Each structure stands twice: as C-alpha cells, then as structure tokens.
Amino acid sequence: MGTARYIARRLIFSACLILGVSVILFAMINAIGNPIEILLAERPGMTDEVIESVSRYYGLDGSVTDRYFTWLWAILRFDFGTSIIYNQPVSEMLVTYGLETLKIQIPAILIALVVSVLISVMAATRQYSRLDFGVIAGAMLGHSLPGFFIGILLILVFSYWLGILPSYGAYSTRNMLMNSTLIDGLWHMVLPVGMLVFFNTATLTLLMRSSLVEVLRQDFITAARASGLPERRVVFGHALRNAFIPVLTYLGILFGVMLGTAPVTETVFTWPGLGALYIMAIQQLDYPLIMGETMIITFMLVGATLLTDIAYVAIDPRIRLA
C-alpha cells in the first residue's frame, strides 16, 4: 500500500531530521563554552577544584562526542536532565509548562479557525464590497500590530476598567472562582486565549479570504450554481473545501510551533507556559532547559508537518503520496 510506505519513509526521514537538529543544537550549545565556568567562574572565592568537581557532577568532563551520545541516549528515554536554575527535572517542567501552553494555544487556534472561516465567507462572497475592504483592512491591521499591544489593551479594558477578568496567571492564588478549579482556570484563560485568537484570526482570514475569492471564480462554482445547488451548499460544500487546501500548510505550522510561539502572550499575562520559560532559560543560560525545549519544539513541528502532508491527501484527491 502506497500510503503506508509513504508514512514509513516519512517517519525515517523525520527521525533523521530530528537527529540532525540534535547534532546542530548540541554543537551550538557546546560552542558557547562550559556553562559551569560561565556561571560560577566570576563568583568570589571560586577555586578550580570546585569548578572541576561541579563539572564532573554535571558530566561535563568527557569528550564532546561522549557527552553528545550520553545526552542523546538520555533524551530518547525522555530524560532531559535537571534544570540548573530551577533544580527540577526538565522533562517534568516540559510537561507542566507545556500543558499550560497547549491549554491556551489549542483553543485559540481552533476558535480562530472557525471565526476566520465565517469572516472569510462573508467577505469573499461580497468581494470588493465595503465589508470586504473592512475585513482586509482589519486583518492587515491585526496581522501587523505588535503582540503586547493587544494584550495590554485587553488587560486595561477587562481587568482594570471593567474588572471582570484576571490579568495574570493560570489560577487564582487564594480563592478559586465559584470554588471550582475548572471554572477558575477557564476564567483565567479568557484574556490570553482572546489575544492569541485575535492574531491567529487576522492571519488566517487574510489567507482564507484570498483563497476563497480565487476559488469562487472557478468554473466549477458556476457549474455547481447552474445545477441548482443552494448558494449555502455551493459556498460551504464546494468552495470552502477547495479554499482550505492552501490554508492547511499554515495551519500545520501553527500547530507545529505552538509550544514556542506564545512568549509574548505568556509574558504579558504571566502565564506559566513554555514560551515564557524558553525566553527565561535563554536569558539565564539554563542549558538543559534550552536543549529540552528546543528538542520538544522540533519534535512537534516535524510531527505536525507529517500530519499536514497526510491531511492533504484526505482533503485533495489529486495529491497522491508516493
């Protein structure tokens, strides 16, 4: 079967890709130098013996290749070592912080998808109308606004002026809303999700609208109308599925990189997610954390790309896997 072979081949290719990323990542981190020296050498009263013993403790005394394979073997067992700054296992942190990021990213992408489909249909079926130009202008503006701006605006309106939504964190520290962890969590999600929805919707609408305008011009749309199908069926059944094909790539990437793409949102709303953690890890040179996150994001992106390619076959019969 062609599809099974295709997927097997892609899986092998993906494994090679991830391996390649791991080599480059390790080489780059190694090029920065011994983290122990960087972190401890400047401290007063530091002796060579201490540095040496701490280096040995972290396994930094071996050769580069030895250390790479030790690390590779460890990450294959989902062991990314211990964070230098937080003194916690990186794998645990990736899961805890990762889940918090997914909690705002997945709903944000899905909501944005639905909203942008509806807006795109309204705009594309009235091409060059005032509504259409309004949508294009709005989407362009939303696409180009700096991220923090909308976040701060949301906090100003809903937290400061109206006082109805929390401005930071994923949970209340003292009293849960309605004494329910679920409701309290959802309550905290509203603003960060809203901010992500805003940006995703802007970009997806730009893509989807132009794709839909293109498809609505096709002969088969006129032919579908000529066969008496109701307009709603023509647009949602015949046009949208074709219009979705070019959007799929972007959507795949959006899902693929979602673990690392919300640092601004997470920073503005003090959300305990991977994006903000990544920035912090880089600022503080927390090597195991940087490497762990990079590998997880690579893994997600490669997986999402593979899924996107498979989804193409499902949505467009002209594409055959080979």
Q: Which is nearer to other proteins, 33 or 230 (CB)?
A: 230
Distance between CA 275 and CA 273 in Å, rounded? 6
Does the protein bind other proteins through residue 225 (CB under 8 A)? yes
Does the protein bind other proteins through residue 91 (CB under 8 A)? no
Tokens of 43: 């401290």
Q: Which amino acid is at 65?
A: T
How far apart are CB 215 and other proteins at their closest, in Å?
10
Q: Where are the beta strands (DSSP E) in the chain?
A: none
Cα–Cα nearest to 260, from 229, 238, 282, 241:
282
Q: Which is nearer to other proteins, 88 or 222 (CB)?
A: 222
Q: Which of 83, 205, 242, 294 binds other proteins (CB under 8 A)?
A: 242
Longest dimension (CA), the chain: 86
Q: Which is nearer to other proteins, 109 or 213 (CB)?
A: 213
How far apart are CB 226 and other proteins at their closest, in Å?
4
Burial of 80 (0-12, 13-18, 19+ CB in 10 A): buried
User: Please, how many CA atoms are within 13 Å of residue 288, restricted to the half-sphere of its CB?
Assistant: 25
Q: Which is nearer to other proteins, 163 or 228 (CB)?
A: 228
Burial of 313 (0-12, 13-18, 19+ CB in 10 A): middle
Q: Which of 152, 229, 253, 311 binds other proteins (CB under 8 A)?
A: 229
How far apart are CB 206 and other proteins at their closest, in Å?
21
Does the protein bind other proteins through residue 311 (CB under 8 A)? no
Residues 2-41, mask of contacts with other proteins (x by CB under 8 A) = ----------------------------------------
How far apart are CB 225 and other proteins at their closest, in Å?
6
Distance between CA 83 and CA 289 in Å, rounded? 6
Q: Which is nearer to other proteins, 82 or 125 (CB)?
A: 125
Residues 125-164, mask of contacts with other proteins (x by CB under 8 A) = -xxxx-----------------------------------
Q: Which of 7, 96, 316, 321 binds other proteins (CB under 8 A)?
A: 316
How far apart are CB 188 and other proteins at their closest, in Å?
41
Distance between CA 52 and CA 49 in Å, rounded? 5
User: Please, how many CA atoms are within 13 Å of residue 250, restricted to the half-sphere of its CB?
Assistant: 18
Q: Which of 28, 218, 236, 307 binds other proteins (CB under 8 A)?
A: 218
Tokens of 26: 């390790």
How far apart are CB 2 and other proteins at their closest, in Å?
15
Distance between CA 58 and CA 254 in Å, rounded? 36
Q: Which of 57, 160, 220, 236 binds other proteins (CB under 8 A)?
A: 220
Q: Which of 130, 227, 283, 322 binds other proteins (CB under 8 A)?
A: 227
Does the protein bind other proteins through residue 322 (CB under 8 A)? no
What radius of gyration do the chain's Cα atoms show?
24
Q: How many residues bind other proteins (CB under 8 A)?
A: 25
Q: Are 139 and 120 in contact (CB under 8 A)?
A: no
Distance between CA 238 and CA 215 in Å, rounded? 9
Distance between CA 290 and CA 4 in Å, rounded? 35
Chain residues that interact with other proteins, rule: CB under 8 A = 126-129, 218-220, 222-231, 233, 238, 241-242, 315-318
